[in-house]
Amino acid sequence: MAIAAPQPAPVDVVVLGGGIAGLWTLRRLVEAGLDACLLERRALGAGQSIASQGIIHSGLKYTLRGAVTGAARAMAEAPDIWRACLRQEREPSLPPGALLSERCWLWRTRSLRSQAALLGARAGLKTRPVPVPAHERPAALRDCPGEVYSVEEPVVSPGGVLEALAAPVRDRLALTADADDALDVSRIQGRLLLRVRLADGTTLALAPRALVLTAGTGAEALRAQLGLATQALQRRPLHMVLARGPSLPRLFGHCVDGAATRVTVTSAACADGSTVWQVGGRIAEQGVGMDEPELLRLARSELAATLPGVDFTDVRLACYRIDRVEARTATGAKPDRETVFVEGPIVTALPTKLALAPLLADRVLEAVEPLLEAVGDADDAAVACAALACAPRPAVAPPPWESQLRWR
C-alpha cells in the first residue's frame, strides 16, 4: 500500500529494529556525531533481546572440546567492555541496576565425560574458571558432586539494558504501525526514501544516506522488501524453559556435560517478587522437536538431575519458543562472531550473541562512514530529532515470564 507522507527529511542513518544491537548501534552512531534515528514496529527488545538470558560470555563455553575456537577468541574481550559500561567508564554507560550477577557458576554432573569436558573448559582464555571451596558455593550447588567453578562472566538484565540504551536517545526513536506495509522503501536520484506509517496513524518520510537493519527475525522480510537475498540469513530455534516458585534460589550458571552445556540457568525477579529461572542450554535445543508437555517433563527430570540440592516441589514450569537469526553458515552452526553485510547503502547487522553487541556497533559505524562520504555532506545534524518530534515512542518489551504462558 502506498503511504502518503510529507517532504522527506534528510538524515544520515535510519536503523530498523530496536533490540539491544539496534539501540547500541544507534548510540554509537550518535556518539560519532551522525544524525541517526531508529524505527521499531513492536516494542524495544521484542523477540531475541528480551528473551536473552543476559550472560556476557567470555567464550569459555566454546572451549568445552578442549580447544580455543574462533567463537571463543571473538568473545574474549566482551566481558571487559560490558563491565566498563557498567562502571560508567565507557559509553554507553549502563546503570548498576542492569547487572544481575558479576559471575556465573560452572558445575558438572557425575559422568566421566563431563569431568573431562570441564578440564577442557580450562583451556587458554583470558577468563578462566576458578575452583570454589565447598563452604563458598551458592546454596543451590551445595549438593553437586565434584568441583564447582566461578567464572567472571557478568549477567545483565536485558530489560534494564534496553531502558538504559534508549533513555538518552528517546527523541530519536519512533514506533511504527505493526504491519508489513507500514514501511515503503524506494530510491530517488540515487538516495533511499522511506515512507513510514507510524503507530498513531500519522506518516513520516525520511531520506537516509544509509539504512541499517538490526531487526532480528524481521530482517528476512526487510531484505526481501529491499530486493536483497534472504538466503544470507539462517534461523536456529530454541524452546526455552521457565521455572518459578516462592523458594527458588537465585542462580546463574552452566551445568557442563560432555562438550555441551546441559542446562544454563539465569534468574530474575517476577512482578510478584518471586524468583523465575530461564533455563537454556542443550535442553532448549532438544526441546525444539518436542511439544510443551514433553519438554516440561524433560525439564523436571534434567533440573532434578543437575541440581540435586534444590527442592522443586512447589516450582511451576512453562516454555516458549524463540528463533535466533544469524548469518548463514555452510553447516548451519552458529557463526563465530558478529556479522555485517554491506550492500550499497544498506547494512545488515547481526550480533550472533548479546555479548557482541558493542563490537557489532563499532563495525556498523566503520561500514557506514564510507557510505556517507559517497553521498555527500549531511544537510543538518539535528534533522532526525525534529522529524520525529511528535512520533509515538516504543516501550520496552515485557520479559517472557510476564507474557501469557501456561504454567504447569
What is the model's pLDDT at position 145? 84
pLDDT < 70 stretches in the chain: 1-6, 59-74, 110-127, 258-259, 374-381
User: Any idea which residue has 545488515 for its cell?
Assistant: 348
Angle at the Cα of 207 (from 205 to 213), degrees rounded to 5?
95
Alpha-carbon distance of 307 to 142, in angstroms, equals 9
Q: What is the pLDDT of residues 243-266, one digit of tens each?
A: 999 889 999 999 987 667 899 999
Quick one: residue 291, left, alpha or beta (phi over 0 = left, psi -120 to 50 = alpha)? Answer: beta
Q: What is the reported pTM?
A: 0.93
DSSP designation for 141: G
What is the location of CATH 3.90.660 in the chain?
105-154+235-327
Which one-letter amino acid corresponds to residue 258?
G
Q: What is the pLDDT of residues 71-128, one digit of tens each?
A: 556 677 889 999 999 999 999 999 999 999 999 999 987 653 455 445 544 544 456 7
Superfamily of domain 9-48+161-232+331-401: FAD/NAD(P)-binding domain (3.50.50.60)
Beta carbons of 153 and 60 less than 8 angstroms apart: yes
Strand residue runs (E) in 176-303 = 183-188, 191-197, 203-213, 233-245, 253-257, 260-269, 275-280
- Beta bridge partner(s), residue 318: 242
Q: Which three cell numbers stand for residue 324?
A: 535466533
Alpha-carbon distance of 53 to 303, in angstroms, equals 17
Alpha-carbon distance of 171 to 389, in angstroms, equals 7
Beta carbons of 211 and 347 less than 8 angstroms apart: yes
Whose CA is closest to 317, among 216, 185, 407, 208? 407
Alpha-carbon distance of 51 to 404, in angstroms, equals 14
Beta carbons of 278 and 354 less than 8 angstroms apart: no
The correct answer on CATH 3.90.660 for the domain covering 105-154+235-327 is yes
CA 198 to chain centre: 25
What is the model's pLDDT at position 59? 65
Q: Which three cell numbers stand for residue 95?
A: 546503570
Angle between helix 20-31 and 158-166 (nearest 10): 30
- DSSP state letters, 37-62: EEEESS-BTTTHHHHS--B---SGGG
Alpha-carbon distance of 65 to 62, in angstroms, equals 8
Alpha-carbon distance of 177 to 168, in angstroms, equals 23
In terms of Cβ atoms closer than 10 Å to its own Cβ (0-12, 13-18, 19+), residue 63 is buried
Alpha-carbon distance of 158 to 94, in angstroms, equals 11
